[in-house]
Structure 1
Amino acid sequence: MTSSPGISQAAGSGPLRNRNFRWLLSGAAASHIGTQVTLVAMPLAAVVELDAPAFQVGMLTAAETAAFLFIGLPAGAWVDRVRRLPLLIRADLVRMLAVGSVPLSAAFGVLTMTQLYLVALVTGIATVLFDVAHQSYLPWLLPREHLVSGNGALETTRSAAHVAGPGLGGALVHLLGAPAAILANAAGYLLSALCLRGIRLREPQPEAAPGVSLGAQIKEGLTFVLRHPLLRVIAASTGVANFFSAMLVSVQTVFLVRALGLAPSVLGLMLSAEAVGGLAGALCAGWISRAVGQARTIWLATAVSGPFALLWPLAGPGAAALWFALASAVVFFGAVVYNVAQVSFRQLLCPGALLGRMNATLRFMVWGTMPLGALVGGIVAGAAGPHAAVWVCAAGFLLVPLPLLLSPLRRMRDLPAPGPDPAGEATAPPFVTS
């Protein structure tokens, strides 16, 4: 079994002492901050600048995630055929150009919902490739004993950006208008690409398997995930969570601005509450996994935090809006703790040659529900109002832990020993049933 240069170089030190990982982390921070600004600014551009109805705002959210449904599976096979670092840089540059077109069009008075849909689709496609490559690149960059810490650091960075980003986005929208605020996202993607170029470690070009078609490689990734009993239930639970999360995202701007009467600057602070919970979850995830066991952490995190979603629809104008913030903070605390535990497990158990396809298959299964959730959110909000749609979201979060509680995870403290080193040769995964 072979090891990658990145693994041998970083062995014996924490992930933050790895120069290349620090560049990866810096790029992630820049990208996440810009993305969080756009999370506020893009729907506000539709609601405030273009006076879009609730259904069109839901369609915009659906367009942002539709690529996970349509190209999620082949993306994994493509990622496994190329070096991942150059792909990450190119994806950032594509996203920079796409979102940068929004303020340019607004400046000339030609911005339309059609352009916002196209920008969302293009950035979604680039994000699919970026995310699959990013999750597949990390196990090559770090040794296995540092994967949980590395994922925890990335989640901490993401959550910290979620704290600052919405508030910054709300302030920029207030000062400059929604289209101009989106420039921060374009700058974030550019800075991310520059940080990734600072990584000096170069992967070898993957060797193409002779006579193996793209369809056969996609099938191999699907088989790996679907035949593994723990991956199946993780996919089911995460897919349910993402469906109702996307539904919430598609209606929360309309709900908070039109139903609760919040100003854009206050809206940004309200959305930062979920990131405060996520940041706390990222900081606590490693300790919780060690204290109660990684397997228990996966189902406990969702079972304990999920019921707090019922506070979302209880929010009202004025001080009652704080119920929305509290619910978001607790739910996303649990979501980040859950993510650190299950993503680290996935990366450890998978052979290196299958990492792209495994991650893409799971992304297809769990992120492919998001455009559907966003579409349903827009339909429900358009027919019954945003308040009714938020009630549906809250009730849906009660379903998230059910697949986990009905699985072997419920009787386990720790997850089983992982398979071979992710950088090593591909061998049969554990728990494959005939």
Structure 2
Amino acid sequence: MPSTSSAVSDSGRSVPSSLWRDRDFRRLWVGQTASQLGEHTTLIVLPLFAVLTLGAGAGELGVLRAVGQAPILLLSLFVGAWVDRWRTRTVMVVTDAGRTLILGAAAVAALLGWSGLPALLVVAFAVGALSVFFDVAYQASLVRLVRRDQLLQGNSALEGSRSAAQIGGPALGGASVSLLSAPLAAASGAVFFALSFLSIRRIRRTESIPDRPERPPRVWRRIHEGLRFVVGDTSLRTVCLASAAFQFSFAAMMTVYLLFLPRELHLSGATVGLALAATGPGALLGSMLAARLPGRFGHGPVLVAAAALGDGVFLCVLALHGSPGVTVAALLAINFVFGAAGQVVNVTVMAVRQAVTPDGMQGRAAATITFVGMGTAPLGSLLGGFLAMEWGLRTSLLVTAAGMLLSPVVMALSPLARLGRVLPVVRDAPPTGRPQAHGTAARDSGAAHGAATETGS
């Protein structure tokens, strides 16, 4: 399992030296890495806290996980509208401080015997809500911190650290619960958020954000502006549709997949965990490939090819019938390819979204795409369970894995597939009554010069 230090070197190699020498970018990278470690550690610690310390049953555990995920659907659009009006550094620092205090208080309460499941539900929702704020803010912050021609490399570094956190966070959370105790494990998540707070608050560069009018538009109007902007842009609209198709099919497929591995292939729980963990190292490789491939082959072709490869590779699972050793090796390879290709798609899509979106619309665009994409996942999970009961595991896996290919098909049939090696031109935001910050328009137009011919937009 890669350590944090290896993630640093991997991500560091994917960033041009001029960007990596930027102290403010390094502070953002360190803070985001620590935050992601804290978030993924907490996602494991809180359920284990409920089961081991509070004796929660399966139903209660399901409620706890649902409550922690609910802020994505309930708050994403509002957070996007709110973040666009504030400095992202301020948002990230405040949310880090809030998560540190909440988890620290939860750990103290547990050590004193004052905690119960209702309190843990409040903690899960609060941490999840603050994580939505942080995730939207850090995606918007990169655009305000680096030049647009550095977006792909910057996103590669940030996504690489997130991938490392996805590997190390759950393992660290499980180990800390086993070696320490559930309350002290919760405190370990607070430590990571505190480290993120200390790093991000040291960012000194002044952000260029739109001026606030004397009478700012209401939040519902700002949400509507974000929705209208995403729907009105061909690339962003395609990203929304492809994301919704992928998340729906992937949630259905994973429900079947997690039943298929132990019941059809007779794998132990530890082996299943090992196979799934291969996604993380693959994602680290994908973050480095994403810094190079679009500039060589074009953003559109790389998006379509990577999505087709990563989504289609799960069809290979249906061919597995052999010895356990061969099966496990094949599953490791399948999950590794899925992680690498999926990360190429993630980084490239994020760079395209940031390039075509004005600074004053970054938070709302990110939140709208997250809302539309992740909103289909619960329905997909329900469908996967229904198909597994009615059609059997192997047939259900075939149908749901094939359904994931809808995402690259949607992209291939759209102008997004024709994006070239240069990122497209930033679009004008809908009128909001707020003038753009001085210097932003000039920087955007200069960075996008010549992109219209390249992309055909």
TM range (shorter): 0.7 to 0.9
Verify the 8 A CA contact 1:296 1:414 in the aligned structure 2. Answer: no
The alignment status of 1:214 with 2:219, answered yes or no, reads yes
Which of 346, 366, 369 in structure 2 is aligned with 1:359? 366
Matched residue, 1:273:
278
Does the 8 Å CA contact 2:85/2:360 hold for their aligned counterparts?
A: no
Cα distance change on mapping 1:417 and 1:188 into 2, 3 Å: same
Cα distance in 2 between the residues matched to 1:233 and 1:206? 27
- In structure 2, which of residues 86, 106, 110 is the aligned counterpart of residue 82 of structure 1? 86
Distance 1:192 1:203, change over 3 A: same
State which drifts further: 70-79 or 325-334. Answer: 325-334
Q: Distance in 1 between matches of 2:22 and 2:251?
A: 35
SS in 2 for 1:182: helix
Cα distance between partner residues in 1 of 2:304 and 2:341: 10
* Partners of 1:310 and 1:327 within 8 A in 2: no
Secondary structure in structure 1 of the residue aligned to 2:340: helix
Match of 2:337 among 306, 310, 330: 330
Partner of residue 424, structure 1? 440
Distance 1:269 1:167 in 2: 11
Q: 1:132 aligns with which of 136, 142, 155?
A: 136
Q: 1:97 to 1:409 in 2, by over 3 A?
A: same
Deviation digits for residues 60-102 of structure 1, max 9, x if unmatched? 4433332222222221221122222111111112222334455
> What's 1:28 paired with?
32
Paired position in structure 1 for 2:357: 350
Q: How many pairs does the alignment contain?
A: 416
The CA deviation at 1:224 is 0.9
3-state SS, counterpart of residue 401 of structure 1: helix
Confirm whether residue 400 of structure 1 aligns to residue 407 of structure 2: yes
Identify which of structures 1 and 2 has the higher relative contact order when contacts are C-alpha pairs closer than 8 Å and 6+ apart: 1
Return closer, same or farther for 1:124/1:380 CA change in 2, 3 Å cut-off: farther
Deviation at 1:276, TM superposition (A): 0.5
Q: Cα distance 1:260–1:229, how it changes in 2: closer, same or farther (>3 A)? A: same
Match of 1:307 in 2: 312
8 Å Cα contact 2:80-2:365 kept in structure 1: yes
How does the TM-score come out when normalised to structure 2?
0.77
After TM superposition, give the deviation of residue 387 of structure 1 in Å. Answer: 6.5
Q: Which amino acid aligns with 2:128?
A: G
* Counterpart residue type for residue 237 of structure 1: A
C-alpha distance in structure 2 between counterparts of 1:28 and 1:245, whole Å: 26
Match of residue 239 from structure 1: 244
Aligned equivalents of 2:41, 2:30: Cα separation in 1: 17
Code of the residue aligned with 1:295 in structure 2: it is G
Question: Structure 1 residue 160: deviation in Å?
Answer: 2.4
Q: Which amino acid aligns with 1:230?
A: S
Asked if structure 2 preserves the Cα contact closer than 8 Å seen for 1:250 and 1:374, the reply is yes
- Indicate how the Cα distance of structure 1 residues 72 and 221 shifts in structure 2: closer, same or farther if over 3 A, else same: same
- Report if the CA contact (8 A) 2:388-2:396 is conserved: no
Deviation at 1:206, TM superposition (A): 4.5
Evaluate the alpha carbon distance shift between residue 254 and residue 88 of structure 1 in structure 2; reply closer, same or farther with a 3 A threshold: farther
Which AA in structure 2 matches 1:326? A
> 1:324 offset after TM fit, Å?
4.5
User: Is the alpha carbon distance of 1:400 and 1:98 closer, same or farther for their aligned partners in structure 2, counting shifts above 3 Å?
Assistant: farther
Q: Secondary structure at the match of 2:406?
A: coil
Tell me what 1:288 maps to.
293
Residue 44 of structure 1 and its aligned partner are, at CA, apart by: 4.1
Structure 2: segments with no counterpart, 5+ residues: 1-15, 429-435, 453-457
CA 1:56 to 1:418, structure 2 compared with 1: closer, same or farther past 3 Å? farther
- The TM-score, its normalising length taken from structure 1, stands at 0.81
- C-alpha displacement of 1:415: 6.2
Alpha-carbon distance change, 114 to 256 in structure 1, aligned in 2, over 3 angstroms: farther
| Structure-2 change in CA distance of 1:354 and 1:420 (3 Å) | same
Q: Counterpart of 1:417 in structure 2: which amino acid?
A: P
Are the aligned partners of 1:58 and 1:375 in contact in 2 as well (CA < 8 Å)? Answer: no
Hey, what's the Cα distance between the residues in 2 that align with 1:389 and 1:115? 42
Structure whose alpha-carbon radius of gyration is higher: 2
After superposition, give the CA deviation of every residue in 1:210-252 in whole Å (9 maximum; x if it has no partner). Answer: 4433222222211111011111111111223334555677898
Alignment partners' CA distance in 1, 2:110 and 2:328:
32
**What percentage of aligned pairs have identical amino acids?**
34
Unaligned 5+ runs, structure 1: 1-11
Query: Structure 1 residues 157, 247: closer, same or farther in 2, change over 3 A?
Result: same
Pick one of 86, 91, 95 that aligns with 2:95: 91
Distance 1:84 1:386 in 2: 48
Segment of structure 1 superposing worse, 327-336 or 200-209: 200-209
Confirm whether residue 145 of structure 1 aligns to residue 149 of structure 2: yes
Instruction: Report how far residue 388 of structure 1 moved.
Output: 8.2
Q: Give, in angstroms, the shift of residue 19 of structure 1.
A: 0.6
Q: 1:257–1:176: structure 2 CA closer, same or farther, 3 Å change rule?
A: farther
Residue 213 of structure 2 aligns to a residue in which SS?
coil
